[in-house]
Amino acid sequence: MLQINNVTKSFSGIFEPVLKEINLSLAEGAFCTVIGANGSGKSTLMKIISGEHFADSGEIRKNGDVAQVVQDVNRGTIPSMTMLENIALSSTKTPRFSFYKRCKNDVMSKIKSLNIGLEKFIDQPLSVLSGGQRQTIATLMALNSGGKILLLDEHTSALDPKMQLLLMEYTAKSARELGLTTLMITHNMEDAVKYGDRLIMMHKGRIVADMKGREKSQLRIQSLLEMFHKFEDQSLLRDGGENVR
Mean pLDDT of 181-203: 95
Does residue 139 sit within a domain?
Answer: no
Domain that holds residue 205: 2-78+146-238
Average pLDDT over all residues of the chain: 88
The pLDDT of residue 104? 83
Q: What is the pLDDT of residues 83-125, one digit of tens each?
A: 988 888 887 655 555 556 677 888 888 888 888 889 999 999 9
Does residue 115 sit within a domain?
Answer: no
- If phi > 0 it is left, if psi is from -120 to 50 it is alpha, else beta; for residue 151 that is beta
Query: Looking at per-residue confidence, does 152 or 133 come out higher?
Result: 152
Does residue 12 sit within a domain?
Answer: yes
The pLDDT of residue 68 is above 90: yes
Does residue 140 sit within a domain?
Answer: no
Does residue 129 sit within a domain?
Answer: no
Does residue 111 sit within a domain?
Answer: no
Does residue 195 sit within a domain?
Answer: yes
Find the CATH number of the domain harbouring 39: 3.40.50.300
Name which of 152, 126, 118, 123 is nearest 34 in CA terms.
Answer: 152
Q: Is 238 exposed, middle or buried (0-12, 13-18, 19+ CB in 10 A)?
A: exposed
pTM surpassing 0.85? yes
Number of structural domains (the chain) is 1
Does residue 124 sit within a domain?
Answer: no
Place 241 in a pLDDT band, splitting at 50, 70 and 90: very low
The pLDDT of residue 98? 56
Mean pLDDT of 152-169: 91
Interaxial angle between packed helices 97-113 and 131-144, expressed in degrees from 0 to 180 and rounded to the nearest 10:
110
